[in-house]
Amino acid sequence: MIVIFRILVSALIIFTTGCAAERVAVVKEDISVFDTESKAAYHDAINRPAPKPIAKLYKDSTVTVIYDTYGKDYWACRVELPNKIKGWVLCTYLTFTQSN
């Protein structure tokens, strides 16, 4: 019973602490948006064919970060653009703004 209680409390903490909270971010430099996490992560790799982007973001534009994830060699963000297109970029190209 105690184990179930701990699992439920842990799930509640994770759910309410902002792991899934959307955040606004500003683009640091012109970047491409991709349809998959792996395309965003490895778009500059020299040993892979260059993936086709689904959109372009320009310096100082804003996006909504839906969530982020870490891979072996990258930090990727699922973003929603102002025109409601959703895609993936590397989070290192974003500056996260302070929320009020």
Instruction: For residue 95, give the nearest of 60, 69, 70, 54 by alpha carbon.
Output: 60
List, for residues 11-67, the tens digit of each pLDDT value: 433 343 334 568 999 999 999 999 999 999 999 999 999 999 999 999 999 999 999
Whole-structure pTM value: 0.76
Q: Supply the pLDDT for residue 21.
A: 67
The C-alpha atoms of residue 5 and residue 39 are separated, in whole angstroms, by: 40
With bands split at pLDDT 50, 70 and 90, how would you rate the model's confidence at 99? low
- First-to-final CA distance of the chain: 39
Domains of the chain and any CATH numbers: 22-96 (2.30.30.40)
DSSP assignment, residue 14?
H
> Which tokens is 29 given?
């430099």
What is the Cα–Cα distance from 92 to 50, expressed in whole angstroms? 19
